[in-house]
Chain A
Amino acid sequence: MKRKLLGIIDATTYHEDLEDLLTHRSLAALPFAGRYRIIDFVLSNMVNSGIRSVAIFPKMQYRSLMDHLGSGKNWDLNRKRDGLFFFPSAIVSSDYNKIGSFDLFAANMDYFYRSTQEYAIISNCFTVFNMDFHPLLDWHIHSGCDITEIHQNGRSLELYLIKTSLLMKLIETRHQTGYSCMRDVVQDLHHEYSVCHYEYNGYAVMIDSIENYFSTSMDLLEKDVWRKLFLKEQPILTKVKDEPPTKYLNGSAVKNSMIANGGLISGTVENSIISRGVKIGKGTVIKNCIIMQKCQIEENCYLDSVILDKDIKIEAGTKLIGTEKSPYVIRKGTKQGALMNS
C-alpha cells in the first residue's frame, strides 16, 4: 500500500456544540482518552495501514495542532520522500462542516500533481476508531466503484476512497459541476460515477457534541470498547511527553478509571479519565470526570461529571457537580476556588 494510497485529513471542522473545549484549539486537536488528540486516531490508522504521505488541511486555531504533530516524527512521517504535509487554509469563509472541501484542495493542487499514489482516502478529523484500511482498498479495487463511502450502521462516517486522478478532476471542475465537497458528489445521483458504500463493523464514534464527547470517553472504561480501540498490532500513536509513571500516594483509591502517565494521585478517582501530569490532592473525590493534562486539584474537593480542560487549578475544598447529559465544563487555563462557585 506504501505507494498506493494518499491520506487526506480535513481538519477544518468546527462543532459549535464543543465550543467550550475549542476556544484554544481546533477540533482535530481535542484531547481524548487521557493522552491522545482526536486526530491521532485517523492519522495512526493511516500510518498503520502503510500510508506514507498524509496531507492535513487545518484551519483556525491550528497552533495546538501544529505543536502536536510537529514534523510527524511520532507517526514516523518525517520522511525524505512523502511524509506529513500541512496546508493551512487561506480561505476564511468556507463552510466548516464540508468534509473535503474542493476549494481547500484546489488551493494546494501541487500536492496532488506531485503525488504518485493511485488512490486517496479523504477523512474527517473527529472520528474515534481503529481501522485497517487494507481491506477497504482491496474491496474498493475489486468492486470497480469510482467512489467508496464508508458507512457504519447505514450512517456515513464521512470517509471516502477515490482514485487520485478522479479526485483531481472533481476539484478542477468544481465550478462547472457545482460540487463543493465529497459529500455533494456522493449525495447527487445525477452523475456518471458509481458510488458504493462500504460497511465498517468495527468501533467508530464521531465526536460532535459535549454530550457525545463525554459519553464516548466514559465508554472507554468498558473493557470491550477499550480493547477494540487499543490494539497491540495497530497502536494509536501520539506525541511523546516523557512523563514518569503515575505515582499513587498514600490515601489514593482508584476504581474503574483510565489514568495516563505523570500523575500524582492522593485522592479518590472513580469512573474517570485522567490525562497526563494531573495532580489530585488528599481527600479529593473525582467521579465520572474527564480531567485533561496538567490539571491540579487540591485537597478535599468533590467533582462529579465535570470536564476540566488543560492547565486548570481547582483550589482546596471546591465542589463542582454536573450531569451526564450536561457535564460541567471548565475552560482551559482557569482557576476555580471554593468561594467562586458558592
Chain B
Amino acid sequence: MVKKTCVAMLLAGGKGSRLNELTKDLAKPAVPFGGKYRIIDFALSNCANSGIDTVGVLTQYQPLLLNSYIGIGSAWDLDAKDGGVTVLPPYSEDSEVKWYTGTASAIYQNLNYLTQYQPDYVLILSGDHIYKMNYESMLEYHMEKKADVTISLIQVPWDEASRFGIMNTSEDMRIVEFEEKPTNPKNNLASMGIYIFNWNILKEYLEMDAKRHDSSHDFGKNIIPALLEDQRKLFAYPFKGYWKDVGTVESLWEANMDLLAEDCELDLFDTSWRIYSVNPNQPPQYISSDAVVKESLINEGCTIEGEIEHSVVFQSVSVGTGSIVKDSVVMPDAIVGKDCFIEKTIVPSGVIIPDGTVIRSMDNEVILVTEDMLSELHSAY
C-alpha cells in the first residue's frame, strides 16, 4: 500500500431514529436531500474537493442502499487505484461478531484498515451533516498548531447550545474543557463531529478505550475527555459557513427550505466546489402549459403539470394538473396525482398520492407522509 498523509473515516452507520419512517429501510446518510443528493454526498464531495483520496466508510444500520449507492466511489471521483473508497461493515472474528457499539469502537475495529496506509493523520467525519468544508485547510491548521487533535467547531445560537457538545477554549484556541450537552453553556462553540487526529495518538487512545468496560466507546463521551485529562494538545478549528445536522424531520425540511433562498449560504451552484452524487440519468424536466413553478428547486426527469411553490422536488417526480405543492419536499419517483393540495410536507421516495388528496399541517408542524397515512389515503380513494 502507498503511504497516505491523511485518511478519512466517515461514520455512516447511524440509524437517525428521529427521522422516523424515512430511515426505516435506509441509514441516515442515505436519506435524500436537496433535490438530487443524499446526505452523505456532502462529506464525500468535501473529501474529493479537499484532495483526500482515501476514505473508509463505516456502515452498520440498513447498509444495502448505502453500499450500492457508494459503489466503488466513482460518482465522487474516489475510484482511485491507491486508496479510494472502502466500505467498512462490522465483521466477525473468531467466535463473535463485533458490532460497532459507538463511534470510537467503529474506528477501533478498523485500525487494520488504517494501518495499511500508515497515515500521518486521520480525519474523522460524520455522514449526517449538510455543509461544505475544505478539510485540507483544517489539516494545515492542525499542522500549524502542532496539535495532537483538532476539532472543528461552529457557532450555534445560544439558546440551542445546550443541545450540542460545547468546547471551551483558551485565547489561542486550545481546548481546555469539553461539555456534552451542558445545561448552562459557557460558550456557544459546538463540536461538528469532525476531528483530525495524529495517527499515533488516535491508535493509542482507541486501544486504551477498547479495554475499558465502563466506556461507551464514543469520541465525544470518552476519547475527547480522556485526551483532555492527559492534557494533550487539542485545538479548536473555527468553521464559518452553512452547517446543519439534519437529524429530525423538522430540521431536514428546514435545511431543504434553506436552499430556496435567493442568497442561500450553501451554494450548490458553485462550480469550484461541486457536490457530486450518483446521477439518475433522466431527461430534462418538463414543465407543462398548465404548470406554475415559483421559488423551487426541481431536478431532472420530473413532469410538472400542477403548481409548485417554494418546494424541493427530486428526480422523476410527477405532479398532476390542478395540484398545488407548497413548502414541501417531494423525494425521488413520488407521484402526486391531480387536484391535490400538499403543504409543509415531506413526501418520501416512490410514494403515490391519489388524486384529490389534501395534506396540510394544522399545527404548523412538518408532516411526513407515512405508510399508515398512505393506506388510509388509498382506502379512502
Contact = CB atoms under 8 A, between A and B. Distances in A.
A235 B281 contact: yes
* 9 A-B pairs with least C-beta separation: A245-B35, A244-B268, A34-B284, A245-B299, A260-B284, A230-B283, A240-B279, A256-B289, A245-B297
B262 A249 contact: yes
Given A244-B36, A258-B286, A252 B294 contact: yes
Interface stretch (B88-96, B161-169, B269-277): B269-277
A210 B314 CA distance: 34
Given A244-B36, A261-B299, A33 B294 contact: no
Given A249-B262, A252-B293, A33 B283 contact: yes
A318 interface: no
Given A33-B283, A254-B293, A255-B289, A262 B269 contact: yes
Nearest to B276: A242
Interface string A219-256: 00101001001100001111010101111111011111
A222 B313 CA distance: 22
Given A244-B269, A245-B34, A254 B287 contact: yes
A35 B269 contact: no
B287 A255 contact: yes
Contacts of A247: 260, 269, 296-297
Contacts of B308: 248
B355 interface: no
Contacts of B291: 254-255
Interface residues of B, number: 36
B262 A250 contact: yes
Which residue, of A73, A235, A264, has the highest number of chain B Cβ atoms within 10 A? A235
A230 B268 CA distance: 27
A257 interface: yes
Contacts of A254: 287, 291, 293
Contacts of A255: 287-289, 291
B6 to A, nearest CB: 24
Nearest to A231: B283
A290 interface: no
Which residue, of B262, B281, B299, has the highest number of chain A Cβ atoms within 10 A? B281
Contacts of A253: 292
Interface string B198-221: 000000000000000000000000
A247 B295 CA distance: 7
Interface residues of A, number: 37
Interface in A259-280: 259-262, 264, 273-275
A73 B312 CA distance: 30
Given A245-B36, A247-B269, A35 B289 contact: no
B283 A35 contact: yes
Contacts of B297: 244-248
B293 to A, nearest CB: 5
A244 B289 contact: no
Contact of A226 (B274, B286, B295): B286
B295 A236 contact: no
Contact of A242 (B34, B35, B279, B285): B279
Contact of B298 (A34, A230, A237, A245): A245
Contacts of A246: 285, 297-299
Contacts of A33: 283-284
Contacts of B299: 245-246, 261
A264 B259 CA distance: 13
Contacts of B262: 249-250
Interface in B32-69: 34-36
Given A35-B284, A257-B286, 13 more contacts: A34-B283, A73-B74, A240-B281, A244-B35, A245-B34, A245-B298, A248-B297, A255-B287, A256-B288, A258-B283, A260-B284, A261-B284, A273-B284
